[in-house]
A and B are shown apart, each in its own frame.
Chain A
Amino acid sequence: MAASSERSPPPFPDSEEPELLEDSDDGADAFTGTSISEMDSLSPDTTGPPKDLFNTPPEDIFSDPLSDINSEPQKNVKIQSPGSDEAVDLFSDPLDDEADVISSPEVQNPVPDLLKETVETPKSDVIGKAPIDISSKPVHKNAIGARHQDIFEDPPKDSSKGSAAKKAGSAELFGDDDDDDDDDDDEDEEEEMFKEPLKAMTKKPQPSVASGPPINVFTEVKSEVKVKQHVKDDPTDLFAEEAVKAPATKPSSSGGSRTNGVHSEEQDIFSEATVELSLDSPLNDRKKKDAVKASVSAPAAPVASSSSKPPSKTLEELEEEESEDKFDLNISITNPEKIGDGMNAYMAYKVSTQTSLTMFRSKTFTVRRRFSDFLGLYEKLSEKHSQNGFIIPPPPEKSILGMTKVKVGKEDPSSAEFVERRRAALERYLQRIVSHPSLLQDPDVREFLEKEELPRAVGTQALSGAGFLKMLNKATDAVSKMTIKMNEQDVWFDEKIQDVENEEQQLRKLHVMVESLVNHRKELSGNTAVFAKSVAMLGSSEDNTALSRALSQLAEVEDRIEQLHQDQAANDFFTFSELLADYIRLLGAVRGCFDQRMKAWQRWQDAENMLQKKRESEAKLLWANKPDKLQQAKDEISEWEAKVTQFEREFERISATVQKDVIRFDKEKARDFKRQIIKYLESLLHSEQQLIKYWEAFLPEAKAIA
Chain B
Amino acid sequence: MEGSSAESALSVSANSIRITDLTQDGDVLMFAITSQKLNSSAGVCVFREHEDFEWLQQSLFSQENVPGLQGIIFPPLPPKALPLQSNMQTKALKQLGFLALGQDWQGYCKALEFYLQQVATHPTLCKCKALDSFLINSESPGKQRGRKGIFNRLSQAVEEMRKESHKDVDNFFQNERNKNTNITALSKIATEKLIDVVMTEQKLALACGHFSTSLHLCVNQDDAAAVAFSKVCLKLSDIIEAVKQNFEKVASNNLTTLGLGLDLESRYQEAEKEMLFRRTCKLIELETVKKSTEKAKANKREVMEEFQKAVEKEFNLISSVAKEEIERFHSSRVNVLKNFLIGWCEQQLNTARECAELYSQHLEACRNMYSE
Report A's interface with B, CB cutoff 8 A. 495, 499, 502-503, 506-507, 509-510, 513-514, 516-517, 520-521, 523-524, 527-528, 530-531, 534-535, 537-538, 541-544, 546-547, 550, 554, 663, 666-667, 669-670, 673-674, 677-678, 680-682, 684-685, 688-689, 691-692, 695-696, 698-699, 702-703, 705-706
A interface footprint on B253-290 (CB within 8 Å = 1, 0 otherwise) = 00000000000000000000000000000000000000
Contact A524–B352 (Cβ < 8 Å): no
Indicate whether B187 reaches chain A with its CB closer than 8 angstroms. yes
Q: Within the complex, what minimum Cβ distance (angstroms) separates B328 from chain A?
A: 14
Q: Within the complex, what minimum Cβ distance (angstroms) separates A200 from chain B?
A: 37
CA distance A530 to B190 in the complex (A): 9
Q: Within the complex, what minimum Cβ distance (angstroms) separates B272 from chain A?
A: 13
Contact B225–A663 (Cβ < 8 Å): yes
Contact B190–A535 (Cβ < 8 Å): yes
CA distance A513 to B244 in the complex (A): 13
Contact A517–B211 (Cβ < 8 Å): yes
Q: What are the residues of chain A within 8 A of B370 when measuring CB–CB?
A: 670, 674
Contact A678–B345 (Cβ < 8 Å): no
Contact residue among B194, B341, B362 (Cβ-Cβ distance under 8 Å from A550): B341
Q: What are the residues of chain B within 8 A of A703 when measuring CB–CB?
A: 338, 342
Contact A666–B229 (Cβ < 8 Å): yes
Nearest to B365 among chain A residues (CB) is A681
CA distance A14 to B349 in the complex (A): 65
A interface footprint on B169-194 (CB within 8 Å = 1, 0 otherwise) = 00000000001001100110110011
Contact A495–B366 (Cβ < 8 Å): no
Given the known inter-chain contacts A503-B218, A685-B363, A695-B349, please indicate yes or no for A520 contacting B207, CB distance below 8 A.
yes
Contact B210–A513 (Cβ < 8 Å): yes
Contact B190–A510 (Cβ < 8 Å): no
Indicate whether B232 reaches chain A with its CB closer than 8 angstroms. yes
Q: What are the residues of chain A within 8 A of B362 when measuring CB–CB?
A: 681
Contact B355–A538 (Cβ < 8 Å): no
Q: How many chain B residues touch the partner (CB < 8 A)? A: 61
Given the known inter-chain contacts A541-B179, A673-B229, A674-B369, please indicate yes or no for A699 contacting B207, CB distance below 8 A.
no
Contact A510–B214 (Cβ < 8 Å): yes
Contact A695–B345 (Cβ < 8 Å): yes
A-B contacts counted at CB < 8 A amount to 157
Interface set, chain B 311-365, CB cutoff 8 A to A: 330, 334, 337-338, 341-342, 344-346, 348-349, 352-353, 355-356, 359-360, 362-363
Given the known inter-chain contacts A541-B182, A681-B363, A699-B349, please indicate yes or no for A530 contacting B196, CB distance below 8 A.
yes
Given the known inter-chain contacts A523-B200, A685-B363, A702-B338, please indicate yes or no for A514 contacting B345, CB distance below 8 A.
no
Indicate whether B29 reaches chain A with its CB closer than 8 angstroms. no
Contact B187–A538 (Cβ < 8 Å): yes
CA distance A680 to B243 in the complex (A): 11
New A-B contacts (20) at CB < 8 Å, excluding given A524-B197, A682-B363: A513-B210, A517-B207, A520-B200, A527-B200, A530-B196, A534-B190, A541-B182, A547-B337, A669-B229, A674-B232, A674-B366, A680-B239, A684-B359, A691-B352, A695-B352, A699-B342, A699-B346, A702-B338, A702-B345, A705-B337
CA distance A304 to B296 in the complex (A): 124
A interface footprint on B127-165 (CB within 8 Å = 1, 0 otherwise) = 000000000000000000000000000000000000000
Q: What are the residues of chain A within 8 A of B355 when measuring CB–CB?
A: 688
Contact A688–B229 (Cβ < 8 Å): no
Q: What are the residues of chain A within 8 A of B215 when measuring CB–CB?
A: 510
CA distance A550 to B341 in the complex (A): 9
Interface set, chain B 230-247, CB cutoff 8 A to A: 231-233, 235-236, 239, 243, 246
Contact A524–B359 (Cβ < 8 Å): no
Contact B218–A678 (Cβ < 8 Å): no
Q: Within the complex, what minimum Cβ distance (angstroms) separates B6 from chain A?
A: 24
Contact A677–B235 (Cβ < 8 Å): yes
Contact A513–B337 (Cβ < 8 Å): no
Q: What are the residues of chain A within 8 A of B194 when measuring CB–CB?
A: 531
Contact residue among A531, A535, A663, A684 (Cβ-Cβ distance under 8 Å from B243): A684
Contact A666–B200 (Cβ < 8 Å): no
Q: What are the residues of chain B within 8 A of A507 when measuring CB–CB?
A: 218
